[in-house]
Structure 1
Amino acid sequence: MRGEAAPLRRGLPRVARGEPWPPADDDALPAPTIDAMTGAPAATTAATTAAAAAATAAPVTALPPAEGSPAAARPAVGTPSGSHRRGLPRVAGAEPWPPASAGTGPTGPAVAASAVAAAAGSEAASAPAKPAPVPERPTTPERTAAPERDAARERPAAPAPTRAPNAARTAAPRARSPIIISTRAASAPSTSPAPSTSAAAPTPAGATTGIARLRHLPRPTQVVLGSLALLLVAAVAVLAVRGLTTYRVVQDFLQTYPGEYPLPDTVESGFPAWIGWQHFLNAFFIVLIIRSGWQVRTEKRPSAFWTARWAKTKRRISLNLWFHQALDVLWLLNGVVFVVLIFATGHWLRLVPSSWAVFPNAVSALIHYLTLEWPTDNGWVTYNSLQQLMYFIVVFVAAPLAALTGVRMSGIWPKRTTRLNAAYPIEVARAIHFPVMLFFVGFIIVHVALVFATGALRNLNHMYGSSDEVNWIGFGIFFASLVVMVATWIAARPLVIAPIASLFGKVTAR
């Protein structure tokens, strides 16, 4: 099977800003002939190549350049006074083409082409003829294609003949511009090997800390793990404090400060009846406030909205936010009544510290609690110093902070008072409001736990029954109040809240 004429591979231009070399209009060299049966090159391939090389190596007569042109003063390529521009090698690993010896003399290109043709002819003549194997069965184009490809890969590439430069193109070569040359050199791809990145330690893309992994666990699992962690911390604290009480200095401190100090003589013992219902209302409102506040914080798409009827600017808020703010108003009203009553009856002396001895006695009471040896104080007469400090913080610090930060974030805060908003930014209110809620949650948990751990019946009688006796009256009232709080917790849904909210404004689904 004989191959058709294959076009030459065009390379870099011979002159600046010229076309790729050789020109596109030059004749293509004939492809080598390959035996269809054996895949070996035919004997006439080398001879044909040599003949083509000899024919193309003949000198071409160049047209004389015009007088006064730059080409007239510059010798043409192939003349005795000129030299060829050496380009890329014709075969891999060889020297640049044409050879250095072919650059001088009128017969340089012809001699080089003759040498190449003679070498190709001698190689073809010296190669022994291989007998063609007889196939056992008829071959198909698919079966003969593989031997042809293998023979083409193993056969060395024949050197391409040297073509004489086109006289019309090389008669008046342009002057090379150093700017163009430098631009080509700068745009040439770098042959330096890229730095290896295999030695760098891989950084895991999804690396997370232990706390971040816990956030992806189910909520019940988080609650269980958190409870176990708190129990572990409490157990370690109890063991550590019990070890400290074995030291003499700690024992002397506990004897000097028993955990309470005497109150003024004007303070009456016991609890009036209004303390019981004030305590119930305070617990009722604060539990629902915490629940609704958490719903406001975590809801993504409110189920209903509420709009005030009397407001000039129709500002919509979510139904859960309205419920939260309504509970805040009721809780604040109950708190105002409580503060008025404690100052009217002198009960405030049991809540407000009146001596600096409250601090060391509070530390002594804390040590007693941590060692699980409860203080021996009588709550009907006076609180211990730790209780007094905590109740003072709840009534006179935490509650006002919750109210002030809540008002700043609510819709009743004036929006156009620039100076007031700059003095009290809403970001500060948000940063304080949520930690205050967490403080109330922690206080409720610890308070209820200590009430049941240090004598439940007697303590519940103090809180709800206004009695120092040990019976089930206070516990019954507490249980009834607990049922009311649980029922209200379950009923506090948009289906129940919406009719109540519609009495004070307009409730819409969107």
Structure 2
Amino acid sequence: MATYGTTIRRGLPRVPGGEPWPPGPEGAAPALAAEPEPTAGEPERGERGRVEAQPEPAPVEVGRAGEDPGPAITASGPVRRGLPRVPGGEPWPSAAFAARVAERLAGAGADRASGREAPAPRSSTVPVRPVPDAASSPGRAVAPTRRPSAAPEPERIGPYTRGQWVGAALLTAGALLYAAAMVVLLTRWIVSLDGVRAFIAAYPGAYPLPAGAPVGIPAWLGWQHFFNVFLLVLIIRSGWQVRTERRPPAYWAPRAKPRGRISLSLWFHQSLDLLWLVNGAIYVILLFATGQWMRIVPTSWDVFPHALSALLQYAALDWPTENGWVHYNALQQLSYFGVVFVAAPLAAITGFRMSNLWPARAKTLNRILPVEWARAVHFPVMIVFVLFIAVHVTLVLATGALRNLNHMYAAKDVVDWTGFWIFGASMLAIVAAWVAARPLVLAPVARLFGTVSGR
């Protein structure tokens, strides 16, 4: 092994006027002693004179002067004292502190020799208590720390959630109820005026029909009424589905024209339209053939003041005196006339204009009836039908339900439950058709008239 005999170079003194450091005998710097032979277990120097890294002994934890460093301070010998902190002072650390450290080191060495575990060191920092795991703490389960997951997005029906729809419906119902109450109170005040009383006395709400007008409602009119309601409800349902669906579940195409493909919902809507038009044509023919047209077609200009009088009486919740078995009041007559001879033709014409049955090369017809106009009119007409059904059903049930239902469904002018049970059966049929109007049921029927595909 290599040895060293080189004289150590001495540096500046540690205090002004003192001896150069490190001190030596009579001013001579000591030479490094020859390196002893390595014993068993000691590291040998490498080729370039470096000593292989070995774990150092635990360092001494030193706090501030005068503080007790705790029993965890360990070292292999006495604590080395360094320079004084102030000129002319005592080397640091102080002798008392060094003695206390040496005493603790001796105690720690005795503990290790006897096999006892030395107490944990104290520090000026706050200790962090580790969380025991299940393996180190039997019988105690520790839940893993997880970041709370984000709340799932609420399900939406269209642009709003279910709760928002319920809240909007309740708010709308409350607003409508409040508005209706205000209208009733205002109308009752108007009706109490002397001039309005005289007007209602002169125009009670109905005028005499022409001579020869039929009395009563025949059975065929009741059946036509049921078919009309049945088809109209399904037309409104399918029309709304066509308007709102983004991805049709299936498509239908005629066999003669495979490229004329439309959605299965639109095929159902147009098929119902054709049946409704056929039923309407039969209704109009029978209406004029039997003279029943005089019940819904105005025959005198007095219909308008009578209609205004009937409207005031309805709004004041003072129902006008009427006899639907003989004739309708003027407001009913104008409403039925508008639905049969205005709204129904507009719905048929605009629907035909938007369908694939319209001749695309008919330039003159396209200029007379542009498709943009048809789209702008068709949907409001559907809203008119919805409002008419709501008001019509409300008044039928509020102005003598059993007698009115017998007129409409049983074709008799008595007060019993026959018309009510027929009406209930018709509602069940409408509900069953509403539920069954889905691709699983519609596709086999559509295949009888064309080709049904998923794409």
Smaller-chain TM-score range?
A: 0.5 to 0.7
Root-mean-square deviation (Å): 1.9
Q: Cα deviations across residues 229-252 of structure 1 (Å, max 9, x unaligned)?
A: 221111110000001112100101
2:279 to 334, 350, 353: 334
How many pairs were matched up?
302
2:228 is the counterpart of 1:282: yes
Deviation at 1:214, TM superposition (A): 8.6
Alignment partners' CA distance in 1, 2:160 and 2:357: 39
Given candidates 354, 366, 374, the residue that maps to 1:421 is 366
CA distance in 1 between partners of 2:166 and 2:447 (Å):
36
- Equivalent in the alignment of 1:473: 418
Which aligned runs of 4 or more in structure 1 are off by greater than 6 angstroms?
A: 213-217
Q: Which residue of 1 aligns with 2:211?
A: 265
> How many angstroms apart in 2 are the aligned matches of 1:267 and 1:215?
55
Return the offset for 1:220: 3.0
Pick from 347, 355, 360 the counterpart of residue 402 of structure 1: 347
User: For each residue in 1:440-481, what CA deviation from the matched residue of structure 2 results, as whole angstroms up to 9, or x when unmatched?
Assistant: 000000000000000000000000000000011111110000
Q: Whole-Å Cα distance in 2 between the matches of residues 283 and 223 of structure 1? A: 26
Tell me, yes or no, if structure 1 residue 455 matches structure 2 residue 394: no
1:265 Cα deviation from its structure 2 partner? 1.4
CA distance, structure 2, for counterparts of residue 372 and residue 214 of structure 1: 36
**Does the Cα contact within 8 Å between 1:214 and 1:222 map onto a contact in 2?**
no
Q: What is the CA–CA distance in structure 2 between the aligned matches of 1:315 and 1:253, rounded to whole Å?
A: 59
CA contact (8 A) 1:351 1:392 kept: yes
CA distance in 2, matches of 1:252, 1:215: 53
Secondary structure at the aligned position of 2:253 is classed as strand
CA–CA distance in structure 2, aligned partners of residues 263 and 233 of structure 1: 36
How far apart, in 1, do the equivalents of 2:330 and 2:449 lie?
45
Deviation at 1:216, TM superposition (A): 10
SS at match of 2:249: coil
- Taking the aligned partners of 2:289 and 2:425, their CA distance within structure 1 comes to 29
Matched, 1:364 2:294: no
Q: Counterparts of 1:417 and 1:230 in 2: how far apart (Å)?
A: 46
SS at match of 2:252: strand
TM-fit CA distance, 1:223? 2.5
Uncovered stretches (5+) of structure 1, i.e. residues with no partner: 1-132, 139-212
Give the Cα–Cα distance (whole angstroms) in 1 for the partners of residues 171 and 233 of structure 2: 24
1:490 and 2:429 matched: no
Task: Tell me if the contact between 1:498 and 1:507 (Cα under 8 Å) persists in the aligned partners.
Answer: yes
CA distance in 2, matches of 1:217, 1:425: 41
Distance 1:257 1:217 in 2: 49
| Conserved? CA contact 1:461–1:468, under 8 Å | yes
Residues 174-205 of structure 1: CA deviation (Å, up to 9, x unaligned): xxxxxxxxxxxxxxxxxxxxxxxxxxxxxxxx
Which residue number in structure 1 is paired with residue 95 of structure 2? none
Return the TM-score normalized by structure 1: 0.57
Q: Deviations for 1:323-363, whole angstroms, at most 9, x for unmatched residues?
A: 00000000110000000000000110111100000000000
Give SS of 1:400's match: helix
**Matching residue of 1:189:** none
Q: Identify the range of structure 1 (231-240 vs 399-408) with the bigger mean alpha-carbon deviation.
A: 231-240
Indicate the SS of the match to 2:186. helix
**Alignment of structure 1 residues 142-153 onto 2, 5 Å:** none
Tell me the equivalent position of 2:326.
381
Aligned counterparts, 1:150-169, within 5 A: none
Name the SS of the counterpart of 1:306 in structure 2.
strand
Q: CA, structure 1 residues 405+215, in 2 after alignment: closer, same or farther (shift >3 Å)?
A: farther
* Structure 2 residue aligned with 1:223: 169
Whether 1:350 and 2:295 are equivalent positions in the alignment is: yes
Structure-2 separation of matches of 1:337 and 1:407: 19
Alpha-carbon offset, residue 224 of structure 1 = 2.5
| Pairing partner for 1:323 from 268, 293, 299 | 268
Aligned to 1:218, the other structure's residue is in SS state helix
Deviations 1:92-151 (A, max 9, x none): xxxxxxxxxxxxxxxxxxxxxxxxxxxxxxxxxxxxxxxxx98x999xxxxxxxxxxxxx
Matches within 5 A, 1:82-121: none
1:215 Cα deviation (Å)? 9.9
Q: Which residue of 1 aligns with 2:198?
A: 252
Q: How far apart, in 1, do the equivalents of 2:163 and 2:219 lie?
A: 47
- Give the residue type in structure 2 aligned to 1:314: R
Q: Distance in 2 between matches of 1:419 and 1:384?
A: 43
* Letter aligned with residue 303 of structure 1: P
Counterpart of 2:301 in structure 1: which amino acid?
A: W
- Provide the rounded CA distance (Å) in 2 between the counterparts of 1:216 and 1:483: 27
Q: Which amino acid aligns with 1:344?
A: A
**Aligned partner of residue 416 in structure 2, secondary structure:** coil
1:233 — aligned with what?
179
Which amino acid is the alignment partner of residue 299 of structure 1? Answer: E
Q: Distance in 2 between matches of 1:215 and 1:396?
A: 40
Partner of 1:299: 245
Consecutive unaligned residues in structure 2, runs of 5 or more: 1-85, 93-158
Amino acid at match of 1:244: I
Partner amino acid, structure 2, of 1:302: P
Once the two structures are TM-superposed, the CA of residue 226 in structure 1 deviates from its matched residue by 2.0
Question: What is the deviation of 1:222?
Answer: 2.5
DSSP 3-state at the match of 1:507: strand
1:464 to 409, 416, 437: 409
